[in-house]
């Protein structure tokens, strides 16, 4: 069970190609009015930035009563600017076109015997292409890893349990040691669902778990989606409540949870924390960009 299939990559690839085709059609249609043509194309290409601006506005509104210190407007503007570029790179290139650049499992050479592996679990509407910068760094250091593509894309989070179990098994087989699990966004919930399904064996199979912007207590944005896995991420929703009941509280100290006061997807900010975990606030960092923040990457890899 590997990560050689990605329905999401095909969907996003079609979207990117369709957007460029529409842009070229606009340029041809208004070829005698070049300024109009360029204006229309710029509007089309900047739609995602306006959607992000709406998300940041809603996030700032919802974070008013959150315990996390609020960012100033300059920090929010900078976060919006960063996310506009990073999200375009991730959803416009890494996931639709570059997701197979690196193998889904890598084993270190003999000089790295005794080194545990990293299991990387992406989030909602993503695939393993998200982790390309991590895979590049892990391969540079010759560190072992395993990745997954969480499919079906819009199914239940519980459907991903066998995929994570397989990745943990691959990582353990490669090193003989329990791996470090890293989950971005919904990926952290998928890891918790796997822990629940694994019962008493999970503690022996995992070294540590790191979550990046994971809606452990849900996210306000999820209320607007009819999709199964999005509904499961609604604030204090039934799936999350049942998950909290089922899992042992003693599992939480084995978590490190990164969260941000400028997360435009998971808010209010403190919903990305867990009681008893090592909760680390990284101020002014938006949702997708959090996965590539140098401090987050460096401190996570130190846990190996």
Q: Could you tell me the residue ranges of all domains in the chain? A: 105-302
Instruction: Report the pLDDT value the prediction gives residue 2, as an integer from 0 to 100.
Output: 45
Of residues 227 and 42, more confidence is placed in 227
Map residue 182 onto helix, strand or coil: strand
Q: Which residues contact 167 (CB under 8 A, 6 or more apart)?
A: 119, 121, 146, 147, 148
| Integer CA distances (angstroms), 238 to 174, 232, 234, in order | 37, 7, 8
Instruction: Report the pLDDT value the prediction gives residue 159, as an integer from 0 to 100.
Output: 97
| Among 218, 191, 188, 210, CA closest to 254 | 210
**Tens-digit pLDDT profile for residues 11-28:** 888 887 887 777 777 666
pLDDT at 204 exceeding the cut of 90: no
**Tens-digit pLDDT profile for residues 264-294:** 999 999 999 999 899 999 999 999 999 999 9
Low-confidence winner among 3-12, 115-124, 291-300 (lowest mean pLDDT): 3-12
Instruction: Report the pLDDT value the prediction gives residue 262, as an integer from 0 to 100.
Output: 98
Low-confidence winner among 113-117, 130-134, 142-146, 229-233 (lowest mean pLDDT): 113-117
- Whether the bond into 268 is cis, omega within 30 of 0: yes
Alpha-carbon dihedral sign for residues 14, 17, 23, 25: negative
| Integer CA distances (angstroms), 203 to 9, 141, 199, 242, 302, in order | 33, 27, 9, 20, 20
Q: Which residues contact 140 (CB under 8 A, 6 or more apart)?
A: none
Instruction: Report the pLDDT value the prediction gives residue 158, as an integer from 0 to 100.
Output: 97
Looking at domain 105-302, which of 2.40.160.40, 3.40.50.1820, 3.40.50.300, 1.20.120.1760 is its CATH number? 3.40.50.1820
Rounded distance, CA 191 to CA 135, Å? 19
**Tens-digit pLDDT profile for residues 118-132:** 999 999 999 999 999
Instruction: Report the pLDDT value the prediction gives residue 1, as an integer from 0 to 100.
Output: 44
């Amino acid at each position: 069970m590997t990560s050689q299939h990605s329905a999401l990559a095909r969907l996003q690839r079609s979207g990117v190609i369709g957007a460029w085709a529409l842009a070229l059609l606009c340029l041809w249609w208004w070829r005698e009015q070049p300024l109009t043509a360029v204006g229309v194309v710029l509007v089309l290409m900047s739609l995602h930035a306006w959607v992000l601006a709406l998300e940041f506005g809603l996030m700032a509104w919802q974070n008013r009563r959150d315990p996390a210190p609020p960012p100033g407007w300059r920090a929010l503007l900078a976060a919006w600017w960063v996310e506009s570029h990073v999200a375009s790179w991730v959803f416009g290139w890494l996931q639709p076109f570059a997701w197979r650049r690196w193998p889904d499992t890598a084993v270190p050479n003999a000089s790295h015997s005794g080194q545990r592996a990293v299991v990387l679990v992406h989030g909602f509407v993503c695939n393993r292409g998200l982790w390309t910068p991590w895979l590049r760094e892990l391969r540079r250091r010759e560190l072992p890893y395993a990745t997954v593509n969480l499919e079906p894309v819009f199914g239940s989070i519980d459907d991903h349990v066998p995929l994570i179990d397989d990745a943990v098994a691959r990582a353990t087989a490669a090193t003989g040691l329990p791996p470090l699990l890293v989950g971005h966004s919904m990926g952290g919930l998928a890891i918790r669902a796997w822990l629940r399904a694994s019962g008493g064996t999970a503690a022996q199979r995992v070294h540590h778990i790191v979550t990046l912007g994971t809606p452990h207590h849900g996210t306000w944005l999820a209320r607007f989606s009819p999709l199964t896995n999005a509904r499961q991420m609604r604030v204090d929703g039934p799936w999350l409540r049942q998950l909290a009941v089922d899992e042992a509280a003693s599992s939480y100290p084995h978590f490190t949870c990164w969260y941000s006061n400028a997360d435009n997807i998971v808010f209010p900010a403190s919903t990305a924390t867990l009681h008893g975990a090592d909760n680390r606030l990284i101020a002014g960092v938006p949702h997708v960009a959090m996965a590539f923040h140098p401090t987050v990457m460096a401190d996570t890899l130190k846990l190996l």
